[in-house]
C-alpha cells in the first residue's frame, strides 16, 4: 500500500492588510478566475490560438496558483483571528473527509 503524499506550502500572513471574510472571498474568486482564464487561453477555449510557449504558460499557471493559495491562507488567518476557528482541527476533519470519500488511503 502506498503512503499518502503531502505537499506543504508555507505562505506568510499578509501584515499590511486588514482582510475580512467578504474582501478575502472576493479576492479568492478573482485569483481563481485569473487562473481559469489563463488555463482557458492556453487550451484555446476562448477561440484564440495560444501564442505563448508552453513553458511560459505553465510558469504563469504556477504563479496564479500561488496567488490563489496566498488568498486562501489569508482567509484562514481571518477565520482564526476573528471567528476562533482552529484551522489545524479543520485540516484534520478535511483529511478524514477525503479518506472517507476514497480520495486518499
Instruction: Enter the C-alpha cell of residue 43.
Output: 487550451
* Cβ-Cβ contacts under 8 Å for 103 (sequence gap 6 or more): none
What's the mean pLDDT when you consider all of the chain?
Answer: 91
Residue-wise pLDDT tens digits, 13-59: 999 989 999 999 999 999 999 999 888 887 777 777 777 788 988 99
- The whole-number pLDDT of residue 77 equals 95
Tell me which residue of 7, 14, 27, 9 sits closest to 77, measured CA to CA. Answer: 14
Q: Is 60 within 8 Å of 31 (Cβ atoms)?
A: no
Rounded Cα distance between 49 and 88, Å, is 44
DSSP 101: T
Cα–Cα distance, 30 to 90 (Å, whole number): 24
DSSP, collapsed to helix, strand or coil, labels residue 8 as coil
Amino acid at each position: 500500500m502506498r503512503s499518502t503524499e503531502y505537499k506543504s506550502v508555507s505562505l506568510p500572513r499578509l501584515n499590511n492588510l486588514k482582510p475580512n471574510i467578504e474582501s478575502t472571498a472576493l479576492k479568492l474568486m478573482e485569483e481563481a478566475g485569473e487562473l481559469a482564464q489563463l488555463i482557458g487561453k492556453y487550451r484555446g477555449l476562448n477561440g484564440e490560438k495560444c501564442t505563448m510557449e508552453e513553458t511560459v504558460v505553465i510558469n504563469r499557471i504556477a504563479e496564479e496558483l500561488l496567488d490563489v493559495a496566498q488568498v486562501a491562507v489569508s482567509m484562514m488567518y481571518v477565520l482564526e483571528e476573528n471567528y476562533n476557528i482552529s484551522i489545524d482541527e479543520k485540516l484534520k476533519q478535511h483529511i478524514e473527509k477525503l479518506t472517507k470519500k476514497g480520495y486518499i488511503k
